[in-house]
């Protein structure tokens, strides 16, 4: 069987996502009913973190245990990864001792090089360019609350970062639209976002116009991990790109609000929005667990049917 990696959203097809979302639902139902389900008995996931994490670590580690396997945490600080061992060598060694690898790192190129030398599937747990597991969870959350995302409009307010790029890829794969509003100088870079075209997104200089009529309004921190040196400058550049109640009023009355978290209330989102009636951020965070369990099962076992 050819190894399948999940390094960016477009690595999987619409059919595969449809299968994964249906599978997620079944896996989540088992979990909620306290049903034991151990298809990955004796399998080992290695999780490599070069950046901080709460949700990604927890959801992968708990998810692997719940599927009957084990998860091992490595970080740059106390492994040879932080002391200059070539990523290709690390990939050879780690993939001989495990069944699946998840990596959170800086440049996308690092996960691509790791995957090229890995004997086992590799999952991107966030890079500077992409965060595909997050958008799987976000879309699954949208489907749970509102049904299919096809043809719907997602408003992205803020930085054209890894999470934004992944929304844009997802729009092409699953056929919906993204209205993007970034401050001047922070616009989408289609090539960096890995887009095939520009027909699934539109850029709006005014964030209020991007939110108008949207089915989902979403944002993320103004300063992503790895860009901390730009923090003060970004605070000034992004101050008009806060999702607040006035902005939510321009979206559809039943619009959802999402944020991948961690959030900064009073910066990219007002407390009244993230803690208000449109917000589904806690479901969104929980769904990281369920979608990634479906993903790990799929990468290791292919399609299974017991639902
Ligand atoms: N959303 C997300 O990936 O959170 P963590 O940085 O806590 O993993
Ligand atoms: N864009 C953020 C997402 C954190 C989950 C970052 O890269 O820091």
Query: Ligand 2 in contact with 100 (CB < 6 A)?
Result: no
Tens digits of per-residue pLDDT, 106-136? Answer: 999 999 999 999 999 999 999 999 999 999 9
Where do the CATH 3.40.50.1370 domains begin and end in the chain? Answer: 9-131+288-301, 134-284
Q: If you measure from the C-alpha of residue 305 to the centroid of ligand 1, how many angstroms do you get, rounded to a whole number?
A: 30
- Across 217-251, b (16+ Cβ under 10 Å) vs e yields bbbbbbbbbbeeeeeeebeebbeebbbeeebbebb
Q: Is the pLDDT of residue 2 over 90?
A: no
User: For a pocket test of ligand 2, which of 221, 222, 285 has the largest count of ligand atoms closer than 8 A to its C-beta?
Assistant: 221
Q: Write out the H or E segment, with its range, that includes residue 256.
A: strand 256-259
Which residue do the tokens 């043809």 mark? Answer: 151
Specify whether 288 is catalytic.
Answer: yes
What is the band of 63 on the pLDDT scale with cuts at 50, 70, 90? Answer: very high
Instruction: Specify whether the CB–CB gap between 159 and 182 falls below 8 A.
Output: yes
Could you tell me the two tokens for 268?
Answer: 């990219």
Neighbour-count burial for 81-111, b at 16+ CB within 10 Å, e otherwise: beeeeebeebbeebbeebbbbbbbbeebebb
Write phi, then psi, for 104 (nearest 5 degrees): -115, 120
User: Mean of the pLDDT values across residues 199-226?
Assistant: 98
Distances (CA, A) of 300 to 5, 122, 155: 10, 11, 34
Note the ligand closest to the C-alpha atom of 53.
1
**Cα(234)–Cα(115) distance, rounded to whole angstroms?**
33
* Protein fold of 9-131+288-301: Rossmann fold (3.40.50)
User: What is the mean pLDDT of the segment spanning 239-266?
Assistant: 98
Q: What is the pLDDT of residues 6-42, one digit of tens each?
A: 999 999 999 999 999 999 999 999 999 999 999 999 9
Give the HSE-up count for residue 240: Cα atoms under 13 Å, Cβ half-sphere: 10
Mutate to test the pocket of ligand 1, among 47, 48, 49, 54 (most ligand atoms within 8 A of CB): 54
Give kind and range of the element (H or E) at residue 271.
helix 271-274
Nearest alpha-carbon partner for 79 in 55, 103, 111? 103
**For ligand 2, atom 6, which residue shows the shortest CA distance?**
224
Of these residues, 134, 169, 242, 292, which one is catalytic? 134
Give kind and range of the element (H or E) at residue 24.
helix 14-32
Q: Is the pLDDT of residue 155 over 60?
A: yes
Q: Model confidence over 290-302: pLDDT tens digits?
A: 999 999 999 999 9
- Whole-angstrom distance, CA of residue 59 vs CA of residue 302: 21
According to the CATH classification, is domain 134-284 in 3.40.50.1370?
yes
**Residue found under tokens 């945490």:** 73
Confidence bin at 1 (pLDDT 50/70/90):
low
Ligand nearest to the CA of 138: 1
| pTM strictly above 0.95 | yes
Instruction: With a cut of 60, say whether residue 176 has pLDDT above it.
Output: yes
Instruction: Based on the residue annotation, tell me whether 164 is a catalytic residue of this protein.
Output: no
């Amino acid at each position: 069987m050819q190894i399948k990696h999940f390094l960016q959203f477009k690595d999987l097809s619409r059919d595969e996502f449809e299968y994964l979302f249906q599978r997620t639902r079944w896996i989540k139902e088992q979990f909620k009913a306290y049903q034991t389900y151990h298809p990955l008995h004796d399998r080992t996931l290695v999780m490599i973190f070069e950046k901080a994490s709460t949700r990604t670590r927890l959801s992968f580690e708990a998810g692997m245990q719940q599927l009957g396997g084990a998860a091992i945490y490595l970080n740059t600080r106390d492994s040879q990864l932080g002391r200059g061992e070539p990523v290709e060598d690390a990939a050879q060694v780690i993939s001989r001792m495990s069944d699946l690898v998840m990596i959170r790192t800086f440049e996308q190129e690092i996960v691509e090089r790791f995957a090229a030398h890995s004997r086992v599937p590799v999952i991107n747990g966030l890079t500077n360019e992409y965060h595909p597991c997050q958008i799987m969870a976000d879309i699954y959350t949208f489907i749970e609350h509102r049904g299919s995302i096809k043809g719907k409009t997602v408003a992205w307010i803020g930085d054209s970062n890894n999470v934004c790029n992944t929304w844009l890829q997802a729009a092409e794969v699953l056929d919906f639209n993204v209205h993007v509003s970034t401050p001047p100088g922070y616009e989408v870079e289609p090539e960096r976002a890995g887009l095939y075209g520009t027909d699934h997104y539109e850029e709006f200089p005014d964030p209020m116009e991007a939110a108008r009529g949207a089915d989902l309004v979403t944002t993320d921190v103004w300063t992503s991990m790895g860009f901390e040196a730009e923090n003060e400058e970004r605070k000034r550049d992004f101050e008009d790109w806060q999702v607040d109640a006035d902005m939510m009023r321009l979206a559809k009355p039943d619009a959802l609000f999402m944020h991948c978290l961690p959030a900064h209330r009073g910066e990219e989102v007002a407390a009244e929005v993230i803690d208000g009636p449109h917000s589904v951020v806690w479901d969104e965070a929980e769904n990281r667990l369920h979608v990634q369990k479906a993903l790990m099962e799929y990468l290791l076992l292919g399609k299974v049917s017991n639902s």
